[in-house]
Amino acid sequence: MTAATQKRIAPRQIYLLLACIAPIGKIVYLPSHLAHYAQNDLLFPAVAQLLVQSLAVFLTLLLAKRGMSFCQLLEGVFGKIAARIFVGIFGLFLLYASLLPLLEQQLFVQSEFYDTLPSLFAFGPFFVFCAYLCSKPLSSFGRTWDILAPLAAAAFVGVMLLSVGSADFGALAPAGAAGGRGFLRATASATSWFFDAALLIPLLGKFEYKKGMAWKGTLCYLGGGAAVLFFLATFYGIFGPLAETQLFGFSKTSKYFSGITVLGRIDYVFIYALALAMAFYVALPLQGAIECGMQIAGEKKYLRTFLSVAVNALLFALLVILEYRLKQALGVISDMLFWIFPIFFLLVPALSLLIRRRRREV
């Protein structure tokens, strides 16, 4: 095995990312958000988003057949200058996409773990950790997913085992109570949480496409999505009409387990494990944005480290400014600026068609 091969991400690791890492970003703030707009119909907008995103994941993995990076693919269609401009715009989109998971993680850490400590001190160390992660090449993270995926899966199963016995799934009936308007509003705003195909784009060229990888990856993503749907059903089954007030669902559903009165909050073992995996998930959009910068500028010594420190310092300063407006900022992203996400989702199939047409012309 050559050194170049060792640095590439294995298909197995892509599957683990899609099946186990991507879903955990959708069990923090999204459940209460969907319950707010769709009430007991919260599963329907989640299913709609899951199907759309699965198609985007399938098409993105098909792009990997070319064995080229995102910038190289665009250069073959639009030329070098236009390609770099577009990659730069896409990098800015990933920075924007990172804001929502960062905001919800800061709110979660502050309210659940360090409620008496100012958020500047409670969440600030994360950016030091994130700056270190982002200073490493994306291709080096395959091993991280090998470790995190079983951890996240085991922690999720643990939370569900402690939660499902307290759920009344009859609370999900009757279907259609929220009406078409509630479904459309919830589906549109949930777009801010479903951008997993965009996280794969900076990875293009860093893993070798294997036969059937597109549909296998899509099935893995659908499997992870099914776990999210099961959690949403359990979440609403426990809280019912009060679900929209339970902002950090995965940390609250398990506390109603009957054995906790005797054993104590054993569920915190699983909650902390999920929180650890989430820290790596939150860093993914930032890593992708920095990778876009590297594709534009080329591999230069210390450039990745400089971009990592600069980006994390910028976002830390932004969160300090928004310290007392975190929920309002979340609302702006999910309720007002959600339309930015589908623009980039639609570009994936469009790019696939352009590349396919260009290959036929050649």
- CA distance linking residue 93 with residue 198, whole number of Å: 9
Is residue 101 domain-resident?
yes
Residue 25 one-letter amino acid: G
Is residue 362 domain-resident?
no
Give the per-residue pLDDT at 4: 43
Residue 255 one-letter amino acid: K
Give the per-residue pLDDT at 44: 94
Structural domains of the chain, count: 1
C-alpha count within 13 angstroms, C-beta hemisphere, residue 258: 4
Is residue 3 domain-resident?
no
Which residues make Cβ contacts (< 8 Å) with residue 176, sequence separation at least 6? Answer: 41
- 303: number of Cβ within 10 Å: 14
Give the per-residue pLDDT at 357: 58
Give the per-residue pLDDT at 114: 66
pLDDT of 70-103, one tens digit each?
888 888 778 889 889 989 999 999 999 998 888 8
Give the per-residue pLDDT at 6: 43
Is residue 290 domain-resident?
yes
Give the per-residue pLDDT at 2: 39
The pTM of this model reads: 0.90
Domain that holds residue 176: 10-356
Give the residue among 338, 314, 16 at the shortest CA–CA distance from 195.
338
Here the CATH number for the domain that contains residue 250 is: 1.20.1740.10
- CA distance linking residue 294 with residue 298, whole number of Å: 5
Is residue 67 domain-resident?
yes
pLDDT in tens, the chain (362 residues): 333 444 588 999 999 999 999 999 899 999 999 999 999 999 999 999 999 999 989 988 988 888 888 888 888 778 889 889 989 999 999 999 998 888 888 888 877 776 655 566 667 788 888 999 888 887 778 888 999 999 999 999 999 999 998 889 998 988 887 888 889 999 998 998 999 999 999 998 888 888 899 999 999 999 999 999 999 999 999 999 899 988 888 888 888 888 787 777 888 899 999 989 998 999 999 999 999 999 998 777 788 899 999 999 999 888 888 877 777 888 888 888 888 888 886 676 667 666 655 555 54
Give the per-residue pLDDT at 51: 94
Is residue 4 domain-resident?
no
Is residue 208 domain-resident?
yes
- Per the prediction, the chain carries an average pLDDT of 86
Is residue 135 domain-resident?
yes
The residue written with tokens 């929920």 in the block is 327
Give the per-residue pLDDT at 301: 77
Tell me the DSSP string of 80-133: HHHHHHHHHHHHHHHHHHHHHHHHHHHHHIIIII-TTS-HHHHHHHHHHHHHHH
- CA distance linking residue 204 with residue 214, whole number of Å: 13
Which H or E run contains 54? helix 43-63
